[in-house]
Structure 1
Amino acid sequence: MYKILVADDEKYDRDAIINILKNDFNDDFDVSQAKNGREAIEITEIEKPDIIIMDIKMPGIDGLKAIAEIKKFHQNAYFIILSAYDYFDFALEAMKLNVKDYILKPFSKKELIDKIQKGIEFINIERMKRKKQIEEQEKIYNLLPVLENELSYSIIINMVDLIDYQIYMDYLNMNFNNACCIIVDIKKDNNSDNIKIKVVDFLKEFIGRKYKNIVSYRFTKEIVFFISFDDKKVFSNREIMGNLTESIISEIRKVFNISVKIGNGSIYNGIHNMYKSYREACESLEYIDSDDLKLNRYEALEKQHNADSKKIILFKEVEKYIVENLKEDIDMEKTAKRFNISSSYFSRIFKDVLGYNFSDYINMIRIKKSKELLKEGILTIKEICYEVGYSDPNYFSKVFKKYEGVTPSEYKQKLI
């Protein structure tokens, strides 16, 4: 079935063309008609005809102007121009618009049939081309996950030079500029093939909103992502990694209600440095755990990034101070002053070492403590709110849900 539009201000000519179509092409055509250029444009927007027979001289918007407008939103239409005069200027303009054929009035039945038959042949060829393009594209889409898994797994086993990795990178549009490894380890009691694939699909889309990535999960117990940040400007590598890993943990808990371990390696340039980032991610897995909200993150940093030992010692003392004064109104200025550091410098190195800003970190510790108290089952939710340093139970509930995906009462109900 083909769609055809006949646009002519003369009803006699429209009827003549439509009768020929009905008599000689049976039910091959779904025919529409327009009596001027404006109607032709409006009908084409809705019907998207395959062939458009357009009279040049029509009141208002003439045929050539209508074709130019239609070309803006319907590139694939096959245009046949009708004219009572053999105007050379019109022919030149029609060529610019890529009009396929031209008929002079009065036309013979045979001439019209021949022109339409050429249009059908052209449309069939174009349809076959598009079909092949779609089939080829589908083959590529089906092949991409295989290439992705092979490339990422070759990095994991440190044998990337045994494959033509540049071809893989080109197909996957992955350049490993400013890139790193992140490992997601689902806890054993939740780790089934079904949930693993669902988490992979979810994270692939979630991470892909901002960053190019490839993933390996078929031959590994963990889910291994290699993520390229390209040349995006970030305040520090640790900052961007801290924000991303926190988001991954939060989103997985919210969507799947499961806990995972997250390990991340340093950000490097080039595919040959990805194995190093992968090994660092493996080593950090035992430290960066969603259940303890990564409160010992600086220990992982000390091990894998060789952070300044004085900063590590300082922040162990800072954590101790925060835990001991959890019920108090803890703010950054007071804490910085206590350790004889300017608030601006304290803020910068705090996020640099721990990957979080001060207020987020305080909330994480308070929520961790509130979970412990909820598990003990001695205090009410309101009492726990005050015990961990919140003055408003409603605000406490909102913060708890932000980090845990459920309210304190819902969390407590799950413990029963």
Structure 2
Amino acid sequence: MYRLLIADDEALEREGLELLIDRKMPNTFKVFQASNGRQAIELAEEYRPDIVLMDIKMPGIQGLEALKQIKAIDHRIKMVLITAYDYFSYAQEAVSIGVKDYLLKPAKREQVVGTLTKLLQELEEERAKRSHELGVEETLAELIPVVESELAMMLMFNQVQEVDVNRLAQIANFSVRRGYSMIVYLAETYTHEEEKKKLHDELKNMLKTVTRCLVSPLLQNEIAIFIPVTDQYDPKQSEGFRMKINRFIEGRFGLSVRVEIGAVQIGLPGLQKSYQDAKQSLLPAEHQEADKPQTIIEKAQSFVNQHYAEDVSMEQVAEWVNLSSYYFSKVFKSESGQTFTDYLTEVRMEKAKQFISNMELSLKEICFLVGYKDPNYFSRAFKRYTGMTPTDYRNLM
């Protein structure tokens, strides 16, 4: 129900309006009554009505002044003046404070109902708009961390020439004229995946509270951080961040990590170069080489080699190596020279060729053993790969 405040110094007027509204618009309003301007303001502050019907002439605080104060309480309140006088003599002032309409005493039923119906429609539209805006805000709040991760990985995997990189930066509200990169690297011996994820999440939350930055996903043992700087940047700032990160991780997790810093560079392409500088600093240390796209591909290939008989999807493997499917696809093709689908097919077909040499296995059994559910589809895929059907291939044995 909507909340309606009727303010009039005449009790009969208030009661008459409430009775009329209740009869003509049943179960629509919860009605509050005020006999003077001060009481109307107090009720508005307490109950936040959706609509106020205010008599222009009342003892104490006059109607227009009361409406001004009510408007200050909540600008969304719809206000209607009730008057027995010439409305046009104060119309300009009424409009200036947001009065939506007026009712001349004695108000006709059709006018009262028509005015309230129009205001109800406005309220419904405003509620729908607010609901939509809240939905958009919630969706955006959920989307932004994903966009930030994608943008960070673009910088890590040298994809800054992509057309959509600037669009992603816009969505993430990450405009950077100058900036630098940091890499937080965990020792290879620290292999507890749940603890590493917890460390990543808490470090990201901490960094977001102290500076505007992009934080990459945890790619096995590496977290990349991209930080914009102003013209007043002092190198002591980045050293301060390095110390803060070390203290935070040591204090929260009892771990010593390695933090490398790249040089300050210009724009998004510069951030990618800064990341490569920081990455290069990691290479000389024994047993502390951070993950590179190639090691990620090797991990993906190992997963396929172990699970080729199952219903393996690119999305599943991308999640396994902590990349989005979009970037996993690009990195896999770039580093291996073939698409993920082609690699999966190759593994399955090579396994199928091995199984076909075992005469005790039927071709249907082999189909299922290498991850296919439809023998006909398996046969077509095998022929595309080898140039002959499984039966022809077996006959050559």
Into which bin does the TM-score normalised by the smaller protein fall? 0.5 to 0.7
Q: C-alpha offsets along residues 32-85 of structure 1, whole Å, 9 cap, x if unaligned?
A: 222233332332233222112122222333222222223334121111111121
User: Shift of the alpha carbon at 1:131?
Assistant: 1.3
**Are residue 59 (structure 1) and residue 52 (structure 2) matched?**
no
**Are residue 253 (structure 1) and residue 250 (structure 2) matched?**
yes
User: Shift of the alpha carbon at 1:155?
Assistant: 0.8
Aligned position for 1:216: 216
Aligned position for 1:118: 118
Task: Give the SS at the match of 2:205.
Answer: helix
Q: 1:195 to 1:84 in 2, by over 3 A?
A: farther
Q: 1:15 to 1:286 in 2, by over 3 A?
A: farther
Aligned position for 2:225: 225
Percent of aligned pairs with the same amino acid: 33
Q: 1:159 to 1:33 in 2, by over 3 A?
A: same
**Are residue 173 (structure 1) and residue 170 (structure 2) matched?**
no
Alignment of 1:14-413 (within 5 A): 14-187=14-187, 192-217=192-217, 219=219, 221-231=221-231, 233-234=232-233, 236-237=234-235, 239-285=236-282
Q: 1:10 to 1:252 in 2, by over 3 A?
A: farther
Please give the alpha-carbon distance, in whole angstroms, between the structure 2 residues aligned to 1:191 and 1:47: 57
Task: Give the SS at the match of 2:81.
Answer: strand
Structure 2: tracts of 5 or more residues without a match: 286-397
Please give the alpha-carbon distance, in whole angstroms, between the structure 1 residues aligned to 2:214 and 2:263: 17
Q: 1:286 to 1:95 in 2, by over 3 A?
A: same
Name the amino acid aligned to 1:67: L
Q: 1:276 to 1:92 in 2, by over 3 A?
A: same
Please give the alpha-carbon distance, in whole angstroms, between the structure 2 residues aligned to 1:130 and 1:173: 23
Please give the alpha-carbon distance, in whole angstroms, between the structure 2 residues aligned to 1:177 and 1:195: 35
Aligned position for 2:326: none
Q: 1:27 to 1:162 in 2, by over 3 A?
A: same
Please give the alpha-carbon distance, in whole angstroms, between the structure 1 residues aligned to 2:75 and 2:220: 47
Task: Give the SS at the match of 2:260.
Answer: strand
Task: Give the SS at the match of 1:169.
Answer: helix
Please give the alpha-carbon distance, in whole angstroms, between the structure 1 residues aligned to 2:284 and 2:54: 72
Name the amino acid aligned to 1:277: S
Q: 1:212 to 1:53 in 2, by over 3 A?
A: same
Task: Give the SS at the match of 1:246.
Answer: helix
User: Shift of the alpha carbon at 1:105?
Assistant: 1.2
Please give the alpha-carbon distance, in whole angstroms, between the structure 1 residues aligned to 2:28 and 2:212: 47
Please give the alpha-carbon distance, in whole angstroms, between the structure 1 residues aligned to 2:190 and 2:66: 61
Task: Give the SS at the match of 1:151.
Answer: helix
Q: 1:252 to 1:18 in 2, by over 3 A?
A: farther
Name the amino acid aligned to 2:258: K
User: Shift of the alpha carbon at 1:183?
Assistant: 2.0
Please give the alpha-carbon distance, in whole angstroms, between the structure 1 residues aligned to 2:260 and 2:92: 66
Please give the alpha-carbon distance, in whole angstroms, between the structure 2 residues aligned to 1:106 and 1:250: 75
TM-score computed with the length of structure 2 as normaliser? 0.65
User: Shift of the alpha carbon at 1:175?
Assistant: 1.6
Please give the alpha-carbon distance, in whole angstroms, between the structure 1 residues aligned to 2:180 and 2:138: 29
Please give the alpha-carbon distance, in whole angstroms, between the structure 1 residues aligned to 2:202 and 2:265: 25
User: Shift of the alpha carbon at 1:121?
Assistant: 1.0
Name the amino acid aligned to 2:277: E
Note if contact 1:190-1:258 (Cα within 8 Å) is conserved in structure 2.
no
Q: C-alpha offsets along residues 329-369 of structure 1, whole Å, 9 cap, x if unaligned?
A: xxxxxxxxxxxxxxxxxxxxxxxxxxxxxxxxxxxxxxxxx
Note if contact 1:204-1:213 (Cα within 8 Å) is conserved in structure 2.
no
Task: Give the SS at the match of 2:266.
Answer: coil
TM-score computed with the length of structure 1 as normaliser? 0.62
Please give the alpha-carbon distance, in whole angstroms, between the structure 2 residues aligned to 1:24 and 1:192: 68
User: Shift of the alpha carbon at 1:265?
Assistant: 1.5
